[in-house]
Copies of this chain bind each other. A is one copy, B any other.
Amino acid sequence: MDPRTLETLRAIGTQGGVTAAAAVLHLTPSAVSQQVALLQREVGVHLTERVGRGLRLTPAGEALAEAAMDVAVALERARAACDEFLVRPQGVVRVSAFQTGAQLLLPALLTRVARSPLLAGITLECTDEDVAQDDFVALTDRMDVVVAHRPDDGLGWAGGGAVEVVPLLREPLDVAVPIDHPLAHRTEVHPDDLRDLPWIAVREGFPVATVLGAVGARSGSAPRIVHRVNDFHVVEALVEAGHGVSLLPRYTFGGEGRVRLVPLVGVRAGRRIDALLRRDRAERLVVRRVLDELRALAVEIGTA
């Protein structure tokens, strides 16, 4: 019953396979396979079952993986109990964020952490991660804090009780039009104003892809999507050049003077930015501190 082995089992569950689990654990697939084989011998129950050329956890495996998280939490709590006696806790915290979230939050976060003397022991390692909506949770295995976004009205995050969700802020999505567009001088637009316009959307399955659908539903006609581009800077350039209109997040917008952003009313268009982290990682003192800064930063942005 080694916690490492338990964590390995968990990784197989969340990552969906031996090879993927091995990747996040920095091990070879062989090692992972041997670990679960030994674990199964120990508990006397089948924990995995083959499905196609991969495998998944059995109910018993799921149960054990769930319990494994509690073990990890207890362990981190123990470590934190010691850190309380340290003047200044040390450690690296790995933070990932989707591109515009990174742009919005990470520079200020780094500044805040660097400025505070109490956080001097903390080393931040930042990454930007562009993944599909459903894949944000899986990132928590590699990262300590994952800044993710989801449609305003969408459901929460799947992940069982394993991930903690910390709401950071809500960012409205405005309609981006060229500066010479008929709508450019409006102070607000209704979904009805947007009928038959050529849309530039994000790729299917990616966050806020569904928002445009909601706008279309409100106006009564499905939006005409002419391009699918994930990078908002590219989107801005396309809108500026008159190749279509789009929905762009307000706080991250950087196209002033080249593109007009018009608030959308009559439909709730926005995205929620959350911090995702595994329950065990949340116990780490340094992670908690970083999270506090992140939350404070979000409040600052939301009230500005």
Contacts and interface: CB of A to CB of B under 8 A. Distances in A.
Given A63-B81, A67-B81, A86 B1 contact: no
A60 B73 contact: no
A59 B85 contact: yes
A55 interface: no
Interface string A82-126: 111110001000000000000000000000000000000000000
A142 interface: no
Contact of A82 (B45, B71, B73, B74): B45
Nearest to A73: B74
Contacts of A59: 85
A75 interface: yes
B60 A85 contact: yes
Contact of A78 (B6, B45, B79): B6
A1 B78 contact: yes
B82 A78 contact: no
A77 to B, nearest CB: 6
A79 B45 contact: no
Contacts of A147: none
Q: Report how many copies the assembly holds.
A: 2
Interface residues of A, number: 28
Interface string A203-229: 000000000000000000000000000
A74 to B, nearest CB: 4
A66 interface: yes
Nearest to A78: B67
Given A45-B86, A85-B45, A85-B60, A78 B74 contact: no
Interface in A115-168: none
A77 B70 contact: yes
7 smallest CB-CB distances across A and B, nearest first, come from: A67-B78, A43-B82, A74-B74, A60-B85, A71-B74, A67-B81, A63-B81
27 contacts: A1-B75, A1-B79, A3-B3, A3-B75, A6-B78, A43-B79, A43-B83, A44-B86, A44-B90, A45-B82, A45-B85, A60-B81, A63-B81, A63-B82, A63-B84, A63-B85, A64-B81, A66-B81, A67-B74, A67-B78, A70-B77, A70-B78, A71-B71, A71-B74, A71-B75, A73-B74, A74-B74
Given A45-B82, A63-B85, A64-B81, 16 more contacts: A6-B78, A45-B85, A45-B86, A59-B85, A63-B81, A63-B82, A63-B84, A64-B82, A66-B81, A67-B74, A67-B78, A67-B81, A70-B74, A71-B78, A73-B74, A74-B74
